[in-house]
Amino acid sequence: MEFEQFCNLLPKIELHAHLNGSLSAFSLQKLGCSNEQISEYQQLADLQATEKTLNECFKLFKVAHSATKNQQSVYLATKYVIEDFFNENVAYLELRTTPREEQNMTKADYIESVIRAIKDCDKNIIVKLLLSIDRSDDLKCEENLELIIKMRQKYPNVIKGVDFSGNPYNGTFDPKLFQKARNCGLFITLHCAEIKNDEEVEEILKFRPDRIGHGTFLHPNFGGNDSIWKLYLDTNIPLECCLTSNVACGTAKSYKQHHLQEWIKNSLPFTLCTDDKGVFGTNLSKELGLAYQYFSLTPTNLWEMTQKTVSYTFASDEEKKVLTKILQDWKVKNHF
């Protein structure tokens, strides 16, 4: 089997995908974005990594947000994104999104629309929902969490966790807030060390989230420091690694100089993810291909990484067994 075909056909697990950032230009078109908006989106998405900054990347989300302002468009957006992941053989998807209020839609309506699309999905893919707390919406974090907890009680099999995201230059991590979420049975995944902010990173690691996203400025060779890295090693928290996103936002210098190399070298837990595949023009199969190209991860390494990722998911034990079997059967069928 050709390597590209391997990456596409492997039953994959995606743990870090933001709903609105995952919308393709084609989906945005179907959701009513004008040609002008689409070309702005694509022009920005096509810019060379060095021309972009994290702040510029954040501007791109406005395009998708302008196309998902009511319940029907949120429903359709969720449906399209799930279908796109399914079409590249993602077997398990944890989709995350920030509940958003618009003129004719409450945050609860937003969540209901996403859940309706997940429940209506008739494809062979397991989909779970993580609800994001936007760090730049500081004043509403508490209120947002209350809503998430309420919705989780209503949909315990779909809503599995809480994410902390949004522009890392804004807001601060509040351990009390996430402890409350944890006490209510929610899993916690936190964007961590996307920019250099040692004080916050230390607090996040001491909190011991179930997973962290990006982890860019942790290792001393990548802007972290020895005590932060030691703290990370003590926790051994799985990393959601988003190669293309980090390179595109300029937080990693290049694919070759990406901090993932430290995880590989030290046999630390990680999984490859897309982050915002619409914004960054990628998909999970491509991310696997990049890990092969730049870090020499063989098909066997990538299969093993996917198998390990099963244990990092927020799925039930039963679902984990199903995923393990899918992967085992696929390996046997494809003789490797």
Binding positions for ligand 5GP, rule: CB under 6 A: 18-21, 61, 97-98, 132, 134, 165-166, 168, 191, 194, 245, 275-276
Least Cβ distance, residue 275 to ligand 5GP (angstroms): 5
Choice between 237 and 327, CB closer to ligand 5GP:
237
The token duo for 33 is 């974005």
User: Distance between CA atoms of 304 and 38, rounded to whole angstroms?
Assistant: 38
Question: Least CB distance from residue 266 to ligand 5GP, whole Å?
Answer: 24
**3-class secondary structure, 60:** coil
Considering beta carbons, is residue 11 or 287 the nearer one to ligand 5GP?
287
**Contact assessment for residue 191 and residue 207, using Cβ atoms and an 8 Å cutoff:** no
**C-alpha 288, offset from chain centre:** 15
CB of 207 to ligand 5GP, least distance (A): 17
194 is catalytic: yes
Residue number, 168 or 238, with CB nearest to ligand 5GP:
168
For residue 280, which of 244, 243, 313 has the smallest C-alpha distance? 244
Q: Which of the residues 94, 194, 240, 262 is marked catalytic?
A: 194
Smallest gap from Cβ 96 to ligand 5GP, in A, equals 7
Nearer to ligand 5GP, 59 or 119 (CB): 59
H helix or E strand, kind and range, residue 213: strand 211-214
Provide the residue count of the chain.
Answer: 336
For the record, the structure tokens of 79 come out as 């449906």
Judge whether 259 and 219 are in contact, CB under 8 Å. Answer: yes
What are the catalytic residues? 194
